[in-house]
Amino acid sequence: IHFVTDNTAWAGMPNGTYDWTGGRKVVKEDHRVYVVGGTLAGSVASMNFGVGNFTRSTGCSLAEAVKMASLNPALVIGVADRKGSLEPGKDADLVTIDEQVNVYLTMVKGQEVYRADGG
């Protein structure tokens, strides 16, 4: 099993109303986006939200679910030689999470790109 996200362009944006094609407007609320009037327009659920949802729904361990979100997809797309796990010579991409899958730190190629406390 491997995880993917199907995020729309509004992923990572604050909740609010945004312009869309054809003069329509969409509303982003937490993990979903809908066209003003009620039709679902897509998902903005983050990977950590999906991992947490999967572990709660299935009883799968967090460690196994994280593998499904990291190493398994890297194997599927043929980049496991540099992505998906922490090993010498790999890209050093890292996400630090807690038991509730809250993200505290993200590093890409060994460089800090996000810290929850803003520091």
Which are the catalytic amino acids?
Answer: 6
C-alpha distances in angstroms, 100 versus 27, 51, 66, 81? Answer: 27, 10, 12, 29
- SS3 call for 23: helix
C-alpha distances in angstroms, 115 versus 8, 103, 110, 118? Answer: 23, 8, 14, 5
Burial degree of 71 (CB within 10 A; 0-12, 13-18, 19+):
middle
In sequence order, the β-bridge partners of residue 27 are: 17, 34
